[in-house]
């Protein structure tokens, strides 16, 4: 039998704290060599793009593949979202597909979880820190949720090109958290202790010279070779940690652009997050150091989160079982 889990089912069982725990373990498996992470495969049918993201985590006993499609005409022609994602979870002992679940909310939470784990290992270990959120979309919400799990936040600032979106974000987040969330100015955000960038900006969104010593940055958006949220200055000033070195040098304009310009060498990349988690490399050395985590998104995050969702759904008796 195969368990079918809707978006509503996934939302009902998936919490950020739990997701951060399994995502942390997934990064550790990647660093320790017990994860299998093939390159993402893509197919371009007429009018769209299909992405296939498989992975296997030996210690976790998790085998799955996320299928994501991007069809720009979906909303106008078929009343469907532009981006659709599903995850197929398999039994690693038999190979049978044991669950098919919605991948939209799962992807959003696992992306936030990676930043939460990075914040746990790289941000200053202090209380009453300030947090900046650039962007006011779904991922911006996940970033704040994850950072709040990793550190005690005193106040958060949000900035978006749409003031209305930023205010709506602040209003919603004030209902969720016990600290103040306000619409801030760019000058306020760049001086925060923890900075999260969750935008689709093609060009840097702040001046790296303005970031204060001791800050930690989570760079989440603009993950194509020709786009970047972070300028060359902040890359040079920071201890640069990525989810995957290979992905950063193939997909992340934040490091690829200054490398192509001859402003940095590949030595600017300090470590993969899993290397910090497993203590193969040291994280933050002092309270003056600026740390930077670049997230591209890896299938191991999806697979770990899908296994978590499946286990919790089975325990809670939710979903629909079908015979295929």
Is 282 in the same domain as 309? no
Is a pLDDT exceeding 90 seen at residue 39?
no
Q: How far apart are the first and last CA of the chain?
A: 7
Predicted local confidence at residue 91, as pLDDT: 98
Is 19 in the same domain as 89? yes
Predicted local confidence at residue 310, as pLDDT: 98
Is 133 in the same domain as 66? no
- Average of per-residue pLDDT across 6-25: 98
Position 221 in a domain: yes
Predicted local confidence at residue 115, as pLDDT: 98
Q: Which of 8, 17, 44, 66 is catalytic?
A: 66
| Residue owning tokens 């303005």 | 210
Predicted local confidence at residue 32, as pLDDT: 98
Is 89 in the same domain as 163? no
Beta bridge partners of 219: 197, 294
Is a pLDDT exceeding 90 seen at residue 206?
yes
Is 292 in the same domain as 304? no
C-alpha pair distances (Å), 29 with each of 56, 131, 236, 273, 301? 10, 29, 29, 11, 11
Give pLDDT tens digits for 97-138.
999 999 999 999 999 999 999 999 999 999 999 999 999 999
Predicted local confidence at residue 223, as pLDDT: 78
Predicted local confidence at residue 308, as pLDDT: 98
Is 316 in the same domain as 199? no
Predicted local confidence at residue 247, as pLDDT: 94
Which CATH number is 95's domain given?
A: 3.30.1780.10
Reduced to 3 states, what is the DSSP secondary structure of residue 6? Answer: coil
121 vs 200: which has the higher pLDDT: 121
Give pLDDT tens digits for 295-311.
999 999 999 999 999 99
Is 165 in the same domain as 191? yes
Position 112 in a domain: no
Phi then psi for 218, rounded to 5 degrees? -110, 110
Give pLDDT tens digits for 207-234.
999 999 999 999 998 878 999 999 999 9
Is a pLDDT exceeding 90 seen at residue 12?
yes
Is 143 in the same domain as 211? yes
Is 177 in the same domain as 267? yes
Is 24 in the same domain as 91? yes
What is the number of residues in the chain? 324
Q: d(Cα 320, Cα 311) in Å, to the nearest integer?
A: 14
Pairing mode of beta strands 129-134, 153-159: parallel
Q: d(Cα 4, Cα 322) in Å, to the nearest integer?
A: 7
Q: d(Cα 123, Cα 284) in Å, to the nearest integer?
A: 7
As given in the structure block, the two tokens for residue 157 are 């600032």
Q: d(Cα 111, Cα 143) in Å, to the nearest integer?
A: 8
Domain that holds residue 274: 124-296
Position 259 in a domain: yes
As given in the structure block, the two tokens for residue 71 are 């069809």
Provide the number of structural domains found in the chain: 2
Confidence of residue 22 (pLDDT cuts 50, 70, 90): very high
Is 263 in the same domain as 185? yes
Position 233 in a domain: yes
Position 115 in a domain: no
Report the candidate in 35, 62, 67, 34 with the shortest Cα–Cα distance to residue 48.
67
Report the candidate in 76, 73, 61 with the shortest Cα–Cα distance to residue 29.
61
Is a pLDDT exceeding 90 seen at residue 66?
yes
Predicted local confidence at residue 103, as pLDDT: 97
Position 113 in a domain: no
Position 204 in a domain: yes
Confidence of residue 175 (pLDDT cuts 50, 70, 90): very high
Report the candidate in 179, 89, 78 with the shortest Cα–Cα distance to residue 133.
179
Position 255 in a domain: yes
State yes or no: is 66 an active-site residue. Answer: yes
Is 216 in the same domain as 308? no
Predicted local confidence at residue 121, as pLDDT: 98
**For every residue of 23-89, which 3-state class applies, written as one string?**
HHHHHHHHHHCCEECCCCEEECCCCCEEEEEEEEECCCCEEEEEEEEECCCHHHHHCCCCEEEEEEE
Phi then psi for 136, rounded to 5 degrees? -135, 25
Which CATH number is 278's domain given?
A: 3.40.50.720
Residue 28 CB partners (closer than 8 Å, separation 6+): 274, 277, 278
């Amino acid at each position: 039998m195969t368990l079918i889990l809707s978006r509503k089912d996934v939302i009902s069982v998936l919490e950020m704290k739990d997701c951060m725990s399994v995502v942390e373990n997934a990064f550790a498996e990647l660093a320790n060599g017990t994860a299998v992470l093939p390159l993402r495969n893509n197919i371009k049918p007429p009018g769209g793009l299909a992405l296939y993201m498989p992975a296997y985590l030996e210690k976790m006993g998790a085998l799955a593949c996320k299928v994501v499609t991007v069809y720009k005409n979906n909303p106008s022609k078929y009343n469907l979202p532009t981006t659709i994602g599903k995850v197929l979870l398999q039994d690693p002992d038999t190979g049978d597909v044991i669950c098919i679940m919605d991948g939209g909310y799962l992807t959003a939470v696992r992306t936030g979880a990676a930043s939460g784990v990075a914040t746990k290992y790289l941000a200053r270990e202090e209380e009453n820190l300030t947090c900046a959120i650039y962007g006011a979309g779904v991922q911006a919400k996940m970033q704040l949720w994850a950072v709040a799990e990793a550190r005690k936040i005193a106040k958060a600032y949000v900035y978006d090109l749409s003031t209305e979106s930023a205010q709506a974000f602040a209003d919603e987040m004030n209902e969720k958290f016990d600290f103040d969330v306000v619409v801030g100015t760019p000058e306020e955000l760049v001086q925060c202790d923890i900075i999260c960038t969750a935008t689709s900006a093609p060009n840097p969104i702040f001046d790296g010279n303005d970031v204060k010593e001791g800050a930690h940055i989570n760079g989440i958006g603009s993950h194509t070779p020709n786009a970047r949220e972070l300028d060359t200055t902040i890359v040079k000033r920071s201890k640069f940690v990525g989810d995957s070195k290979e992905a950063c040098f193939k997909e992340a304009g934040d490091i690829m652009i200054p490398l192509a310009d001859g402003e940095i060498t590949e030595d600017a990349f300090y470590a993969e997050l899993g290397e910090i988690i497993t203590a193969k490399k040291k994280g933050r050395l002092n309270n003056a150091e600026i740390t930077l985590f670049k997230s591209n998104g890896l299938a191991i995050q999806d697979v770990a989160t899908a296994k978590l969702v499946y286990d919790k759904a089975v325990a809670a008796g939710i979903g629909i079982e079908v015979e295929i």
